Structure 1
């Protein structure tokens, strides 16, 4: 496996901002902005897409879920619909994409294997609608970034100066 690439701003910055936010010392906006620029790692599937876990399978919910890729499956459905939901389920289970701040965090959750890296902004751009990010699931600072909260929309800022003012 190749060495971990260097990244401006450092991968520890994202984990540290999440820790600070959990302690009330940083805002969710700080987490979001740091995530956008951070280098993050994901498990690489055999086909294009993201590997996901169903939120109901998360540790701490009903029953104990195993860690790592054993509970992951490929989410290829473009609208984010859970293809594994039982017929008649009105609302499909929430799906999470495990995303890691470092290869060490990746290995703690997956046990190792094929990976790819990109920026947090690219992850959000490439992820199908309806999926949430589960950042560093094996860490004490694990956090879920809800897709509704990670939408970024273009904003137009208009400023003007009164007539007769100097430039």
Structure 2
């Protein structure tokens, strides 16, 4: 007698995933990706793929939009890989909003860069030229 149809989703009746029963490894967190990229153990392409889908924590003021630092060579916007990193920089009661890395690239004003984890051990600075390159890379990946 032939076996019946597989349940929805293709998983065997026991509910265990197919392919040896091991779950897919989860992608590294943005903080892990920052560490790996800054130490040279992750490519720019892999970092950007993780950055694009990760949550980014941004301090905010009374008006909508990014808070920019203008006391740098180029204006930059502080951003953080976690609420803990943001609080270390801006204080426990600070206001913030959360967007994805892809939204950062879409919404960042022209001519601005950003700094990830400004007070962190693996601070990363992306000047406006690096941001342009990230946008170009994303467009090529999406549209060929």
Instruction: Give the alignment's TM-score, normalised by structure 1.
Output: 0.60
Q: Between Structure 1 and Structure 2, whose CA radius of gyration is higher?
A: 2
Q: Displacement, 1:149?
A: 2.3
- Assess if the C-alpha contact under 8 Å between 2:74 and 2:127 holds in 1: no
Match of 2:85 in 1: 105
Deviation of 1:54 after TM superposition, in Å, equals 2.9
Aligned residue number for residue 14 of structure 1: 30
RMSD, matched Cα:
1.9
Deviation of the 1:30 alpha carbon: 2.0
Q: In 2, distance between residues paired with 1:55 and 1:24?
A: 29
The structure 1 residue matched to 2:41, chosen from 25, 42, 48, is 25
Larger RCO, structure (CA 8 Å, separation 6 or more): 1
Tell me whether 1:42 sits opposite 2:45 in the alignment. no
Distance 2:71 2:116 in 1: 13
Q: What is the distance in 2 between the residues matched to 1:43 and 1:18?
A: 19
Q: Which has the higher helix share?
A: 2
CA distance in 2 between counterparts of 1:149 and 1:32 reads 11
- Give aligned pairs, total: 112
Runs of 5+ unmatched residues, structure 1: 1-8, 57-92, 158-167
Question: TM-score, normalised to structure 2's length?
Answer: 0.69
| 1:150 Cα deviation after fit | 2.8
Q: 8 Å contact 1:129–1:147 — kept in the other structure?
A: yes
Shift of 1:23: 1.6
